Amino acid sequence: MAPDTLHSAPQARPTILLTGFDPFGGGTHNPSWLIAQALHGQRMAGHSVVAAQLPTVFGQSLQRLQSLVQAHQPALTLCLGMAGGRDALSIERIGININDARIPDNMGAQPIDTPVHAGGPTAYFSSLPIKAMLRAVQRAGVPCEVSQTAGTFVCNHVLYGLMHLLAQGRGPKGARGGFVHVPWLSGQGEPHLPLRDMVRGIHAALWAAVLAPQDIALQAGATH
């Protein structure tokens, strides 16, 4: 099956939905989408990975994500995005109910201090086992950290929106979701990580997320 399929036949095998974004802010590549594509079709502990691209656009990104969740009924959804300037895979802990864009999105919109969902809760925690994922990525030899903010641009919008739709029961029972930011690729800026290392790290993170229904206790101080 090709990536990005909205109307797949119902699958016996539970799905892991793995999304990446298109390039934004004048860039030509977005490693988040390259990583998702590289892992499309992988089997992990009885699950199949389905990769899909989200547009770097407020609103449209969430409409697309909602269609994907409806079509694939993923047991686990991991959204990836690029955060230039970070030097490690950043497992996001929290999405907040705010859009506050420093640059325009890919449709030219630049919302300032608007809610993702008016009347929604202030924030949602990721429901993925972030510390178990952190340990797995570090054991795979890839730099990784827990991040306390996904920013206020489209990535935070998607993390908040994902958790909101799961909270509303749009996914299958017990569906979990979360977000990982990735650094630049070589040639995009410094610091950067090679694509193969990022793919290995996300592969390890997904395995850990699938295998650990609950998180492990790992001191934040032990995460660097």
Binding site for ligand PCA (CB under 6 A): 21, 24, 30, 32, 56, 81-83, 151, 153-155
Which candidate in 47, 72, 92, 145 is catalytic?
92
Q: Residues 36, 96: contact at Cβ < 8 Å?
A: no
> To the nearest whole angstrom, how small is the minimum distance from the Cβ of residue 65 to ligand PCA?
13
Residue carrying the six token digits 């229904």: 213
Name the residue nearer to ligand PCA (CB basis): 62 or 210.
62
Counting other chains too, the contacts that 22-28 makes at CB distance below 8 Å and 24 or more residues apart are: 22/53, 22/54, 22/55, 22/56, 22/106, 23/56, 24/56, 24/103, 24/105, 24/106, 24/154, 25/103, 27/188
The two tokens of residue 163 are 């958790």
Name the residue nearer to ligand PCA (CB basis): 151 or 171.
151
Which candidate in 72, 155, 157, 164 is catalytic?
155
155 is catalytic: yes
> To the nearest whole angstrom, how small is the minimum distance from the Cβ of residue 166 to ligand PCA?
20
**Pairing assessment for the beta strands 89-92 and 47-54 based on DSSP bridges:** unpaired
144 is catalytic: no
Separate counts of helices (H) and strands (E) for the chain: 5, 9
Backbone region of residue 141 per phi and psi (left: phi > 0; alpha: psi in -120 to 50; beta: other values): left
> To the nearest whole angstrom, how small is the minimum distance from the Cβ of residue 105 to ligand PCA?
8
Q: Which residue is nearest to ligand PCA (CB)?
A: 155
Name the residue nearer to ligand PCA (CB basis): 30 or 126.
30
> To the nearest whole angstrom, how small is the minimum distance from the Cβ of residue 222 to ligand PCA?
26
29 is catalytic: no
Q: Which residues are catalytic?
A: 92, 155, 181
